[in-house]
Chain A
Amino acid sequence: MTTRYTKSHEYVRVEGGTGIVGITDYAQAQLGDVVFVELPPIGQSLSKGAEAATVESVKAASEVNAPVSGTVVDVNSALTDSPGLVNEDPSGKGWFLKIKLSDAAELDRLMDEDAYREFLKAVS
């Protein structure tokens, strides 16, 4: 299992060619109370960096971008009724979608956990 991070604070946790995508704890704290999540349809193909989902806090709407290219194979429908899961458990129950990677080499261009931690120190 490999977890990689983007500069826009998404994570992708990859196991066997499929990645679970969500936003980091830093991102959920920056957003504040999440009140609505719009998820893509299953089967949609996404290219790396494309808008994959929308997350609405009380204050504003933000885009969640696909950290890697691929096809959406599942979405976390629990977020429809309980968007607050994104705040409570961003790396667990608050995941957004599962994506079947079309190019695993893209992972090499993302940050690993140590690099992301360094990146957070620089931006905050």
Chain B
Amino acid sequence: MSDSQTAAAVRELARTPLYDLHCGLGARMTGFAGYAMPVQYPSGIVSEHLHTRTRAGLFDVSHMGQAILAGSQAALRLETLVPGDIAALAPGRMRYTQLLDGHGHILDDLMVTRLDDEAGRERLFLVVNAATKRADFAYLAAELPDCALTVLDDRALLALQGPKAAEVLRRHVASAAAKSVFALHFMAAGNFARDGIFLNISRSGYTGEDGFEISIPATAAPDFAQELLDEADVRPIGLGARDSLRLEAGLCLYGHDIDSTTGPVEAGLSWSISKRRREAGGFFGYEQVKRAIDHGPSRLRVGFLLEGKAPVREGAEVVTPEGQTIGRITSGGFAPSLGRPVAMGYVDAARAAPGTQLCLIVRGKPLAAKIVPMPFVPHHYFRGD
């Protein structure tokens, strides 16, 4: 047993607009990407996790980077850096894609929302990872000098996730277009009003549940968060449960399951590359991505179900029953919704079929595991009635 972080080290960190709220709720704070963030609240990770799956959880994700990329051809210009189909996005729709380098490796993964055009310029709202945001924005500014990149440092980002999220949120926001948040489908976004403040709300998230991400001016965020927490169905959820929720949902965590040594095809993200972009290319790393699509990648990200109860962590080796090392775990832990450990990692593509029996090495001992399709827990996205 050792103390992971001293209180003094936490005091040096940047704070989100909800820092005081977290402390008041009794959160255990830790350093994450240079920010003091709540790992968990007093009820604990398992309880927070299960609450999000059954009711609704409120997450502070204000550490993530938010920016608007504007330009007469902003969508086509961004397409030179990402394999996702941005030009086809209608206003109010969003996509998950990856920022690639010249080798087709992933510099970050991000959400891109097409906003309404303004003064003849296309506008894209970007949400990127906290640890990579400075590098991402420098890269975008350098590669797209003809576009204007506005970093939204003055906005907080909240996520409300879970089966009760829509019912709760509807009571607290009104749509500028006289539509309720119920009208949004998964991966759609809109502007909604609250006390004269405009919120950008998207129906998206990182838990596999129905839910929303809400971009809100930093000054208005604490009151809004408190109002949502006053709802009987809503509880605050820390980074611990955020990680276990996304793991069960089979979603990648940047810096772990994907990074600047992995490409989108081996990571199992080919679904995020449209037919047009596969055929026409025109993005950094296209050659490598196209080759991986056409000939198959040499390794693949897969999910593992463990037979025993011992969790497996990042870095564990994946070996065949004969003892040959064929891969490595990139995320692993206890899945509260399943009551058993799960993991994901990369293995040789030839051994990546669901049902394959393999061993994961934990503290020198081989633990039996089986490759299974992901997600581990079914997604519950709202795709319309």
Seen from chain A, the residues whose Cβ lies within 8 Å of a Cβ on chain B are 8-10, 23, 27, 30-33, 35-36, 38, 54, 56-65, 80, 123-124
Contact = CB atoms under 8 A, between A and B. Distances in A.
A30 B1 contact: yes
A124 B7 contact: yes
Contact of B311 (A61, A64, A80): A61
A55 to B, nearest CB: 8
Contacts of B244: 58
Contact of B363 (A30, A31, A54, A80): A54
Contacts of B40: 32
Contact of A36 (B6, B240, B309): B309
Nearest to B30: A59
B2 interface: yes
Given A36-B311, A61-B313, A56 B334 contact: yes
Contacts of A9: 1
A23 B2 CA distance: 11
Interface in B312-358: 313, 333-334, 336, 341
A110 B188 CA distance: 60
22 contacts: A8-B2, A27-B1, A30-B4, A30-B28, A31-B1, A32-B45, A32-B240, A35-B46, A35-B341, A36-B310, A36-B341, A56-B311, A56-B334, A58-B46, A58-B49, A58-B244, A58-B334, A58-B336, A59-B243, A61-B311, A61-B313, A124-B7
Given A36-B310, A124-B7, A58 B333 contact: yes
Please tell me the size bucket of the interface on B. 20 to 34
B310 A56 contact: yes
A35 B311 contact: yes
Given A33-B47, A56-B311, A64-B1, 4 more contacts: A23-B1, A32-B40, A32-B240, A36-B309
B161 to A, nearest CB: 18
Contacts of A61: 311, 313
B300 to A, nearest CB: 26
Contacts of A54: 363
A45 to B, nearest CB: 19
Nearest to A26: B1
A8 B45 CA distance: 23
A5 B28 CA distance: 24
Nearest to A124: B7
Contact of A30 (B3, B309, B311): B3
Top 10 closest pairs, chain A to chain B, by CB: A35-B334, A9-B1, A33-B46, A58-B45, A8-B1, A27-B1, A33-B44, A58-B334, A56-B311, A36-B310
A8 B336 CA distance: 27
Nearest to B333: A58
B1 A63 contact: yes
Contacts of B2: 8, 62
A56 B310 CA distance: 8
Most buried by B among A9, A23, A32, A123: A32
Contacts of B363: 38, 54
Contact of B333 (A59, A64, A80): A59
B249 to A, nearest CB: 15
Nearest to A63: B1
Contacts of B37: none
Contacts of A23: 1
A31 B333 CA distance: 14
A35 to B, nearest CB: 4
Nearest to A60: B313
